[in-house]
Amino acid sequence: MRPIKNSWKVAVLDMYEGVPNEGMRCIREILSKYASMHALDLQFDEFEVRQQQQVPDTSYDIYISTGGPGSPVDSEGSDWETAYFSLIDALLEWNRTHEISKPVFFICHSYQIMCRYYKLGNVCRRKSPAFGVFPVHKTAAGMQEKVFSALPDPFYIVDSRDWQVIELNYKNLQAMGGHVLALEKQRPHVPLERATMAIRFNDHFIGTQFHPEADAAGMHMYLLQEEKKKQVVNNHGIAKYNSMISQLTDPDKIMLTHDRFITAFLDYAIYGSLSERLAAIERLVQVATHTDNEHSFF
């Protein structure tokens, strides 16, 4: 399998607003490891969007827009959002008018503001914050999604959010050429709509509510912070906290998603198909049975 070309430029849109985080480290490591594994000349540049209003031009091949803190609603009309969506609109136009497309991946906060900006659903506060490791379920469209093809159903993700996307406007979504790919875990005892966890906005844009870049090391460091430990224990009890710590070593949970999701996104962007490694995994993927209740951290 040969790449479409040898040299690649990736723009990483840093949406963390200067807040310390593990997401940027994880993305850097994934990109560096991918370049090394495939012997690619892969350059990635970072742009601080929300504080410094840094936005790349359309000369990059691939774009990754990160998660970040704060409200995805209150920033509407801000200078940084104006610059950000000028880029997104320019990339939409590029992909409409050029044979070689420029794919974009939107993570968490970026996913939420995309849904709000294009009026795809109700971006609202959750009844209670979501934090932890838990399963998400593919929709029928998700079962056919190429970036999801090396993942089982359900697959496990790291979620950390106060906001959600519900009450989808399917008319607007279909007008964009979009499909819902995944929903949050089934909770029959909770009379609330299941939040949307992943959307393919069009043939070249895909986004997730969760953090597929998250790794066990970063989550472990995060959970060991005294403030975060206190929050989890107060909300869910010490048994849940200890369970979360122990799950980080399970190769079938967040590390499986970490190893396969963004890698598959890059495979399709660079090669036009899954790498041989992920293609072999795709052929072996089996639908797994999990007990959701043990891993619910809401």
Side chain identity, residue 25? R
Bridge pairing between strands 205-208 and 196-200? antiparallel
Question: How long is the chain?
Answer: 298
Structure tokens at 29: 């490591």
Q: Dihedrals φ, ψ of 58, to 5°?
A: -95, 20
CA distances from 10 to 106, 110, 188, 269 (A): 14, 17, 42, 11
Contacts of 164 (CB under 8 A, 6+ apart): 123, 124, 125, 126, 130, 195, 196, 209
The overall longest dimension of the chain from CA atoms, in Å, is: 55
Nearest 5 degrees, angle CA 276-CA 271-CA 213?
A: 80
pTM attached to this predicted model: 0.91
Tell me how far apart the alpha carbons of residues 85 and 7 are, in angstroms, rounded to a whole number.
27
Distance of alpha carbon 236 from alpha carbon 228, whole angstroms: 12
Q: Which two tokens stand for residue 266?
A: 């890059």
Residue 104 contacts by C-beta under 8 Å, 6 or more apart in sequence? 62, 63, 64, 65, 88, 91, 204, 205, 206
List the domains of the chain with CATH numbers: 7-295 (3.40.50.880)
**Per-residue pLDDT for the chain (298 aa), expressed as one digit of tens each?**
566 788 999 999 999 999 989 999 999 999 999 999 999 999 999 999 999 999 999 999 999 999 999 999 999 999 999 999 999 999 999 999 999 999 999 999 999 999 999 999 999 999 877 777 889 999 999 999 999 999 999 999 977 788 999 999 999 999 999 999 999 987 766 667 889 999 999 999 999 999 999 998 888 887 888 988 888 888 778 987 887 788 787 888 999 999 999 999 999 999 998 888 888 888 777 444 344 433 333 2
